[in-house]
Structure 1
Amino acid sequence: MNNMSMTVDQIVEEIRALPQDAVADLVDRVLLESHGGQNTADEQAWSSTVHRRINDIRTGKVDGIPSDETAAKIRNIVGR
């Protein structure tokens, strides 16, 4: 199938088969491209930070913050 003819649902289905780190990389790339990109040095530094933080959570070095708690903090900050 030609990638140009894939629907969003088909793309999401393909993404489900990817490893979690590949999905994170894909999301980063899509977001960067949609906002004009990023220079290589910044991209490498950000990627290194993201991978370190993911590893810290996976190894138990730090605890993650539950998404509902994070969302509540964001709503409080923006006043919604």
Structure 2
Amino acid sequence: MTRKQKEAVFDGALKLLPEERAALAGALIESLDESVDADAEAAWGREIAKRAKDLDSGKALGVPWSEARRRILKTNGRDSS
């Protein structure tokens, strides 16, 4: 694929709705790893269920994406502020 073709694909992806871009990004990431570790998948499933339960019960509080993103960028030394 040429650079121009790659740019066209990227530009097309940017025209998708946010939820469509998220689904595409997830599918692309999944395509990178062909093997599935059943034990890891099961462990992540349990962790996700636990976190969802903690959120639903009020035991844990969520943070807005803008705040989470700011923290991630700061942790990775990419904070612009």
TM-score of the superposed pair, with normalisation by structure 1:
0.52
Q: Distance in 1 between matches of 2:36 and 2:75?
A: 27
Unmatched segments (≥5 aa) in structure 1: 1-7, 13-22
Please give the per-residue CA displacement for 1:12-44, whole angstroms capped at 9, x wherever unaligned.
4xxxxxxxxxx9xxx5xx444532333111111
Match of 1:48 in 2: 46
Pair 1:70–1:63, CA change in 2 (3 A): same
Q: Distance in 2 between matches of 1:71 and 1:55?
A: 23
Unmatched segments (≥5 aa) in structure 2: 1-12
% same residue: 23
Match of 2:68 in 1: 70
Between the two proteins, the alignment pairs up a number of residues equal to: 56
TM-score of the superposed pair, with normalisation by structure 2:
0.51
Counterpart residue type for residue 63 of structure 2: I
1:53 match: secondary structure: helix
What RMSD in Å do the two structures reach over aligned CA positions?
2.5
1:43 match: secondary structure: helix
